[in-house]
Amino acid sequence: MTETETKPRVALVTGAGGGIGGAIARHLAEAGHAVAAADLDEAAAVAVAKGLPTPSIGVGVDISDSASVAAAVARVEAELGPVDVLVNNAGIDKIEPFVQSTEDTWRKVVDVNYLGTVIVTRAVLDGMVERGFGRIIHIASDAGRVGSSGEVVYSGSKGAMIAFGKALAREVATKGVTVNTVCPGPTDTALLKQVSDLSEKMFDAMRRAVPMKRIGTPDDVAPAVVFFAGEGAAFITGQTLSVSGGLTMA
C-alpha cells in the first residue's frame, strides 16, 4: 500500500457463515472493506473469508458469550485493525406456536438475537467513539416491526434490536457513529427452510403475501447494509429499512 492509498475500513460481520451474513461479507468486501467473517460455525466463517477479494479472516465466536466476543474482537483488531463497521447479523429462530414453545427456547432466542447484539456492540463501541467513526448495522426482521405468528419471542427479540439501535443512535449521534437497522422479509436461507420443511403450503402463502411475489435472496439484503456502512449514509441514523419486496410498509 502506498502512502496515498487509504487503509480499507474493517467490517465485522456476525453470522457470516450463514446465508444473509455470507452475502453481506461478500458485498462489503466488493465495496472495499476488509472483512472479519465471524460465526459460531468457525469453519463456515473461514470458508466465506477465503473467497473474499480484500484482506479478510474467518473467526469463531459465540455472540451470546462476552468472553468469546472479547477474544474474537481482540483477534480481529490484531489481524485486521480496529472495527469500523459492525454488522449484527447472527440470529436464531424456531418456528412454532408460542403456546408450544418452552422457556429454554425463549432464553436462547433472546440471548443470541438481542443480548448477543448488545454484547458485540458494546465490545466495539469505545474504539469507534475514540476514533470518531463507526457504522453499526443490525439485521433485525420485519417480524420485529409488525409481528409474525409462529415466531412470537423471535419477533420480540427483533423488536428489541430495533429499539436498542434507535436509543443507542441518539446516545452516540455526535460521536461520528451511526446505528441503523435492516429488516429482511422472508429470505431464502437455512433459517427460512424451517418453514418449507414444516409446510410447503405455508411457504407458498408467504411468497404470495409479498407484493413482488417472490421470496428474497441474501443478495437482495446485502446492498442496504453496504449503503448504511458507506460515507454517503453519514447523516442517517436510528433508521429502520425493510428489504422485503414491499411486504412491510411501516
Active site residues: 154
* Interacting positions 122-181 with ligand NAD (CB under 6 A): 139, 141
Find the binding residues for ligand NAD in span 190-249 (CB under 6 A).
190-192
Nearest approach, Cβ of residue 195 and ligand NAD (Å): 8
Number of other CB atoms surrounding residue 59 within 10 Å = 24
Q: Does 8 bind ligand NAD (CB under 6 A)?
A: no
Q: Is 15 in the site for ligand NAD (CB under 6 A)?
A: yes
Binder of ligand NAD out of 11, 90, 229, 247 (CB under 6 A): 90
Among 72, 184, 220, 222, binds ligand NAD (CB under 6 A): 184
Backbone angles phi, psi at 220, to 5 degrees: -75, -35
Give CA separation, 132 vs 10, 173, 218, 227, in Å: 14, 10, 31, 19
229 and 137 Cβ atoms separated by less than 8 Å: yes
Closest distance to ligand NAD from the beta carbon of 14 (Å) = 6
Q: How far is the CB of 176 from ligand NAD (least distance, A)?
A: 26
Is 112 an interacting residue with respect to ligand NAD (CB under 6 A)? yes
CB 176 within 8 A of CB 134: yes
Q: Of 88 and 133, which has the nearer Cβ to ligand NAD?
A: 88
End-to-end CA distance of the chain: 45
Among 13, 37, 56, 116, binds ligand NAD (CB under 6 A): 116
The answer to whether 169 touches 69, Cβ cutoff 8 Å, is no
Cα dihedral 136/137/138/141 (nearest 10): 160
Total binding residues for ligand NAD by CB under 6 A? 31
> Could you tell me if 117 and 164 are in contact, meaning their C-beta atoms sit under 8 angstroms apart?
yes
Query: Stretches 25-33, 77-85, 187-195, 197-205: which one binds ligand NAD (CB under 6 A)?
Result: 187-195
Binder among 8, 9, 11, 18 for ligand NAD (CB under 6 A): 18
Least distance CB 60 / ligand NAD (angstroms): 8
Interaction site with ligand NAD (CB under 6 A): 14-15, 17-21, 39-41, 44, 61-64, 89-93, 112, 116, 139, 141, 184, 186-187, 189-192
